[in-house]
Amino acid sequence: MPLPLLVGALLTAAAPSLPDASAARGPYLDRQLTGAAYCYDPESPLLREAFRRPKPAPDARVDSAALAEDVRFLHQLLRTTYSGWPELLAHRTFDPDAFFQHWSAKVAASGPTVSFQEGVLAPTIAIREALTDSHFGPSGMLNVLREEPRLVFHEYQADAPPGLPLASCDANTVDGAQADTLRVAPVLKPDGSRGQRLTVSARGGGETRTLQCGATSVPLTVRPGLAPRKFEPKDTYTYEPKGDVGIITIRRFSGPPEAEAGLRQFVSDAPRHRKHKLLVFDLRGNSGGDDGYVYEWLDAMVRGPWFSSGEVWMHGAFFPCFQWNTRVQRQAMDGWLDTPEAKAEREAIQPKWPVKPEPSRPVFDSGRVEGHAKTPFTGRIVVLVDRDSASSGESGAYALHRATGAPMVGERTSGFLTYGNAPSFVLPRTGFAWVVPNKRNYFDAPVEGVGHAVQVYLDAEDMERPVAELLPRLRKLP
């Protein structure tokens, strides 16, 4: 069912354009050749440079005339491909068409150049204040925007005091809270005991909040941040058998050829995984990519139907080139567009062009999945996640949970999921790459910006412990 979810945080952003960028060969193939708009041209120098330039500084200067044109280009692109556009149109106070017209005019009137902060980041923040979409924005800058105080949600928490009437707790009493993120769930303590953890996601800074539960005021404390982590491609997938337990670690769902080889190995290893009574998936820090690997693995482990989230795709001007652009972009990022292997890969997935032009329209998918395992897995599964589990790192965990009943354990995920399948589009004048989700997922609880809630919490100090140290507690989960 799923196609790749490209997490923009993995992409390398385009820097400010060169003076002659507008004269460079455009990043897209001729529509008469493909029959569809926005299909990447792998021979384009502009495209080749877009995914390998360093990230621009906020005070970097950008050609105003080129950016003004690109804002108009982006406006038209979003109207036919962006899964969040219908919701922006329905916004009570935000008029997206007027906003883009004003944005372009303001940039054009700003003089010969404009700062990246004023010309790009500030308008992006304004759009995301109107519609919470963690994927949307200039490629390579999503982690920067993730820390923007006007956009970021923090998780505030406390252990419920004994006898607290939990039904009386009202998240509306928490400053900046998204009320429907109030949750009570078990927490596994290091000593093996269990408690009840209260959590609320709220915008704004500050270390503390107060939750009112009837006449009782419960002080909440912001969950501490995680130390930065970097994973090598060779460590993308590891499998560690420990008797009746198999530990499966997946650090991301995309990457250079070495990483993709590891992910294919993960799928191939399903028969080995099936032999264990307990499988622990460690998806902590998984920044995303293509959750299709998880669906392939589940197809070999699960028999019968199960349901993921419902979803609506934006078909039309771009959709026929989704897979083509995904591969061209990956090859450009890794610098191997001209290799025989890259050319053969493109030839294998190139559609029969030209395709018949298709009007832009939403297409609904119920989320029903059918597993075809000849020998279904009968053991238990536990999935470890944290706030750095993003995009496919979240949807992969959610698919394991939905298909097998596996509890998600740890802390809320990143919140890159309501708007997904997020390719980048290269703006033709400046060469900036822009992440634009073209699929809308529907969940039974708020996810975007706040993440998936876990079924079982771990204390913050446990979040970076090796799986082997957590096993005694994880084994006791139902």
Q: Do both 237 and 382 map to the same domain? A: yes
Q: Do both 295 and 398 map to the same domain? A: yes
Q: Please report whether residue 47 resides in a domain.
A: yes
Q: Do both 261 and 334 map to the same domain? A: yes
d(C-alpha 329, C-alpha 258), whole Å: 16
Q: Please report whether residue 2 resides in a domain.
A: no
Q: Which of 113, 146, 179 is the last residue of a domain?
A: 146
Q: Please report whether residue 431 resides in a domain.
A: no
Domain encompassing residue 70: 8-32+40-146
Q: Do both 124 and 159 map to the same domain? A: no
Q: Do both 102 and 202 map to the same domain? A: no
The pLDDT score that the predictor gives to residue 17 is 35
Q: What is the CATH number of the domain that holds 290?
A: 3.90.226.10
Q: Do both 55 and 177 map to the same domain? A: no
Q: Please report whether residue 118 resides in a domain.
A: yes
Q: Do both 191 and 296 map to the same domain? A: no
Closest to 383 measured CA to CA, from 374, 393, 368: 393
**366 φ/ψ sector (left φ>0, alpha ψ -120 to 50, else beta):** alpha
d(C-alpha 448, C-alpha 438), whole Å: 15
Flag whether pLDDT at 5 surpasses 50: no
Q: Do both 136 and 275 map to the same domain? A: no
Q: Please report whether residue 3 resides in a domain.
A: no
**Mean pLDDT, residues 462-471 taken together:** 95
Q: Do residues 373 and 263 lie in contact, with contact meaning Cβ atoms separated by under 8 Å? A: no
Please write the tens of the pLDDT for every residue from 361-391.
Answer: 889 999 999 999 999 999 999 999 999 999 9
Q: Which of 146, 165, 197 is the last residue of a domain?
A: 146
Dihedral in degrees, nearest 10, Cα atoms 423, 282, 300, 403: -80
Lowest mean pLDDT among 52-66, 99-113, 128-142, 186-200: 186-200
CA count, 13 A, side-chain hemisphere, 81 = 26
Q: Do both 307 and 377 map to the same domain? A: yes
| Domain total of the chain | 3
Q: Which of 146, 161, 196 is the last residue of a domain?
A: 146
Q: Do both 351 and 303 map to the same domain? A: yes
The pLDDT score that the predictor gives to residue 267 is 98
Please write the tens of the pLDDT for every residue from 202-232.
Answer: 998 899 999 999 999 999 999 998 888 889 9
